[in-house]
Structure 1
């Protein structure tokens, strides 16, 4: 992820300001043109990284026929600094609870 994300950003004309690869999540701060919608940014990042992950780890592709490595949902916030880790953990917990994967 640390190598792929910067390359993807360069290919699409985005400037990667910050990248953190954690066991629970991937977090980045990216500077994009105002005409780039958040949905487009996420669709491209999900597609591109899923393709690379499945090419590198074919077992994961067999276990996940959806073609999308990532769990449903994402958190997008404006700003030039990373989100506080506790905020991200709370978002993940709340999302999993809504999806029925964790008890509240």
Structure 2
């Protein structure tokens, strides 16, 4: 089984580790709120064609390991996920909106994202091997 996904004109493996926090990093992601955040992230990622590899909702942050198709940008995915979960949380838990520190935002601005793939040493070896293979093929052609 290949680690690559397929679309009509592309074979891809775009996997990202994304991390973000609630506003002021309050430890609000517990109990029913955490369950709803978890559920919403799964739903909205699915609607965008993303595949969740791992999802962990901690009291003061969220870790998401996700495969994102190349037709989607990370900012598009996170904008939708953070925006829609915030709307859903404020709608379902209206008592949170009454707190003066939330304003109109549930999540802090921004996020941290890192690509996940082959390690650097493996890529270096692959590139080195490809160069040797090309040189051998050139010599055979002469």
TM-score (norm 1): 0.68
Q: Any unmatched runs of 5+ in structure 1?
A: 81-104
Ranked by relative contact order (alpha carbons within 8 Å, sequence separation 6 or more), the top structure is 2
> For residue 56 of structure 1, what is the aligned residue in structure 2?
92
TM-score (norm 2): 0.51
Larger Rg: 2
Q: Any unmatched runs of 5+ in structure 2?
A: 1-36, 118-142
Q: Is the 8 A contact 2:45 2:77 kept in 1?
A: no
**2:134 is the alignment partner of 1:76:** no
Cα RMSD, aligned residues only: 1.5
Give the Cα–Cα distance (whole angstroms) in 2 for the partners of residues 6 and 42 of structure 1: 12
Structure 1 runs of 4+ aligned residues shifted over 4 Å read none
Q: Secondary structure at the match of 1:16?
A: strand
Alignment length (residue pairs): 79
> For residue 27 of structure 1, what is the aligned residue in structure 2?
63
Per the TM alignment, residue 73 of structure 1 is displaced from its structure 2 partner at its CA by 2.2
